[in-house]
Structure 1
Amino acid sequence: MHLTLLIPELLWPEPADQAALDQLACPTLEKLLGRARFQRQPRQALETCLAGILGTGPRSLAACRLAGESRDPGESSWYCADPVHLQFHHERIILGNAELLALQTEEVEQLLASLNRDFPDLGRFHAPHPQRWYLEAVPGLNLPPLPPPSAATGRQLGALLPEAPDLARLLNELQMLLHTHPVNRAREASRRPLVNGLWLWGGTGQAATAPGPERVWGDEPLLQGLARSSARDARPRPPHAQAWLAASKAGGNPRELILLEQLLAPALVEDGDSWKAQVADLERHWIAPLAQALGRELSRLTLLSPTAYGLLQWELGAASRWQFWKSARPLATLARQLADSPP
């Protein structure tokens, strides 16, 4: 059986941050990285990586993610219209993460009502989840592509926008409505981050770059929707490797993928302590048990990670577990080496 672990941000994006990178509790992971065959590709967002593995079929990324919310996108044209917090940082506007907003259902309903009232020429806004909003676009609406959230969060707004005056004007109009909205006035009074922008992305599709796995495991709606759009077996993420091994032994699928995204959120908000704790959790519940299974229940293991250093891939076969002469590769050392040699 061949398993791919898709682990975004497996390397901390700040190579000089000793507090985050030093004394990591992941000896098995570092041992595996030292024995693996390593490949490095240009930087790629998690969402783009998933689409490249599974393909979107005839749908857009937005329609696939909506399908993963257990909602039929039908024949409509969809964009993800995620709420964001735009903040000033060193005289620049930085795109914040929707998770920081902690939006309540009543707030979302009020904001959507205003958007649908003032922007009927765009289509209709929907929010099956407080952090994940959608625009069901009017026929013929064709917005220039914006990078997905995992590639945009924490970056300067000006560097993310294409040369598209109409899009810039639209985003400004949305910001103006949101900035003066009663919901944001109440949030400002209680010193909570403002919902002062929408990030419109995912309006196009993507073909798979290679034959993908037969079965995927994960809770991310985009993963679930991509799998459903390509008629793959999609299941919730198991709690640990032993649970996956027990379930896969009964299924007998030769190629499977598990999305382990718990390092992504702390990396996006630069929370080194949380990232470090999640690395230790991955080591304990996933990496160490799978290392034991390699060469037994598991014939091949791929570690795939979209990072600030590029899309990184490590391949391990059954014989890898016996290559004792190969030294471990500490994550801190690897991050510094990759930072010194851009792809």
Structure 2
Amino acid sequence: MTHLDILVPFGLPPPEFANDLLRQLNLPALAALLAKSAPTLSTGNMNGEQFARALPHEAWVAERFGLSGRGSPAVASPVMHAAGQPPEAGYWFMLNPVHFHIAQDHIVLTDSRRLGLGEEESRQLFAMAAELFEEAGKPLRYGDAGTWFARADDWRGLQTATPDAASGRNIDIWMPSGDSARAWRKLQNEVQMHWFTHPLNARREAAGAKPVNSLWLWGGSEAQAGIAAGYTHGYGAATPWLRSLLTRLPQHAPAGTGSDLLANPPANGLLVLDELIEPALANDWGDWAARMESFERDWFAPLLEGLRSAKLDQLSLTLTNDGKSATFAATRHSLRKFWVKPSLARLAP
């Protein structure tokens, strides 16, 4: 038995643009998979919250990997293990250097994918932040240019939000909340003040880049937290923390094509196609459509053929936007519904 789950964050177009976008798309393989599959699940945001602290695809991953946490998925420890830095004890958070910009009457978090922070720049900022965190009794560890880790045993009760859930929005709603929120904001403000005068940010602005002017705290977990996924294989994922989780599975392969995957079909695999997140957060629907059509060519078409030829027995497709998720299950048998015409109608609201 071979089974593949496919997760496509922001594969559901936004309701206000859905009909126009769907008319423009040429996705015959996806249309066949959707029309001839059985819809198995449709849900809203985590816990049904209006201002959910994790996006639907993040909640989906957290549930399947046993990492549901306080608002945001509890991913810090598994990500540290994937980075070769297993935490020895305590409670750890993800910490991302970010850019805040001022809107008319509030502050907004910019998508860090567009920050372009290099390794040398990140290490300079990390060195300054690490001193301040150490003074506060919160040791830091460096992961990579965009991902650091902070130990804060007495902040276990913080409710945090993922950076993508907060991206492009008023940060006041998604900032950490709870008994330790004031302590976090105090430390965050100290770092912001020191970074404001850092020569690195002056150089970035002179070069037309956004300054790195704050930190985003999320993903808290106990040091011993592991993953509890039943998958044998993981594929793809451009988002660093998602890719880190996939590398913790028995076998992991970077994103290639559906044909590459079918050369050695998984017993129970998970494919994450998350390249739609960036254009969706930026409201760049032209780029979104182009990336969807690349998924059609590289993934949906060969995987549809793999299902027809029995290289795969089952395929489950989960698509999301910022407010809901929808899952569809297809088998070789379901594809025999010759009377059902391929259609993208199930992507419409």
What is the TM-score of this pair, normalised by structure 2? Answer: 0.83
Kept in 1, the 8 Å contact 2:258–2:299? The answer is yes
Alignment-derived partner of residue 222 in structure 1:
241
Letter in 1 for 2:253: P
In structure 1, which of residues 191, 210, 219 is the aligned counterpart of residue 208 of structure 2?
Answer: 191
1: distance between equivalents of 2:198 and 2:14? 36
Letter in 1 for 2:143: P
2: distance between equivalents of 1:76 and 1:32? 46
Kept in 2, the 8 Å contact 1:266–1:272? The answer is yes
Q: 1:283-313 CA distances to partner (integer Å, 9 max, x unpaired)?
A: 0111011111214111111001232231221
Alignment-derived partner of residue 340 in structure 1:
none
Alignment-derived partner of residue 15 in structure 1:
16
In the alignment, structure 1 residue 301 sits paired with structure 2 residue 320:
no
In structure 2, which of residues 58, 61, 71 is the aligned counterpart of residue 47 of structure 1?
Answer: 58
CA displacement at 1:140 relative to structure 2 = 3.2
> Structure 1 regions of 5+ residues with no counterpart?
338-343
After superposition, the CA RMSD in angstroms is 2.8
Number of aligned residues: 327
In structure 1, which of residues 86, 102, 105 is the aligned counterpart of residue 100 of structure 2?
Answer: 86
1:149-164 pair list within 5 angstroms: 149-164=163-178
2: distance between equivalents of 1:176 and 1:189? 19
- The alignment partner of 1:239 has SS state of coil
Letter in 1 for 2:43: Q
Q: 1:13-45 CA distances to partner (integer Å, 9 max, x unpaired)?
A: 363277754411212212221222222112253
In structure 2, which of residues 282, 288, 310 is the aligned counterpart of residue 269 of structure 1?
Answer: 282
In the alignment, structure 1 residue 311 sits paired with structure 2 residue 328:
no
2: distance between equivalents of 1:131 and 1:195? 11
CA displacement at 1:50 relative to structure 2 = 1.8
* Counterparts in 2 of 1:297 and 1:134: CA distance versus 1, 3 Å: same
Alignment-derived partner of residue 63 in structure 1:
77
In structure 1, which of residues 115, 126, 136 is the aligned counterpart of residue 141 of structure 2?
Answer: 126
- The alignment partner of 1:304 has SS state of strand
> Structure 2 regions of 5+ residues with no counterpart?
47-54
2: distance between equivalents of 1:122 and 1:186? 31
* Counterparts in 2 of 1:104 and 1:162: CA distance versus 1, 3 Å: closer
Q: 1:45-71 CA distances to partner (integer Å, 9 max, x unpaired)?
A: 333322211224999411111222233
Alignment-derived partner of residue 341 in structure 1:
none
* Counterparts in 2 of 1:57 and 1:200: CA distance versus 1, 3 Å: closer
Q: 1:138-186 CA distances to partner (integer Å, 9 max, x unpaired)?
A: 5434361211122221222122135445144443333333223222222
CA displacement at 1:327 relative to structure 2 = 3.9
* Counterparts in 2 of 1:329 and 1:269: CA distance versus 1, 3 Å: same
What is the TM-score of this pair, normalised by structure 1? Answer: 0.84
1:224-263 pair list within 5 angstroms: 225-226=244-245, 232-248=249-265, 253-263=266-276
Letter in 2 for 1:15: E
Kept in 2, the 8 Å contact 1:81–1:133? The answer is yes
Alignment-derived partner of residue 278 in structure 1:
291
* Counterparts in 2 of 1:42 and 1:122: CA distance versus 1, 3 Å: farther
Letter in 1 for 2:29: T
Q: 1:95-131 CA distances to partner (integer Å, 9 max, x unpaired)?
A: 1111211112222122111111222114233333212
Alignment-derived partner of residue 212 in structure 1:
230
In the alignment, structure 1 residue 323 sits paired with structure 2 residue 337:
yes
2: distance between equivalents of 1:247 and 1:323? 27
Of 54-63 and 78-87, deviating more is: 54-63
The percent identity for this pair of structures is: 28
Alignment-derived partner of residue 154 in structure 2:
140
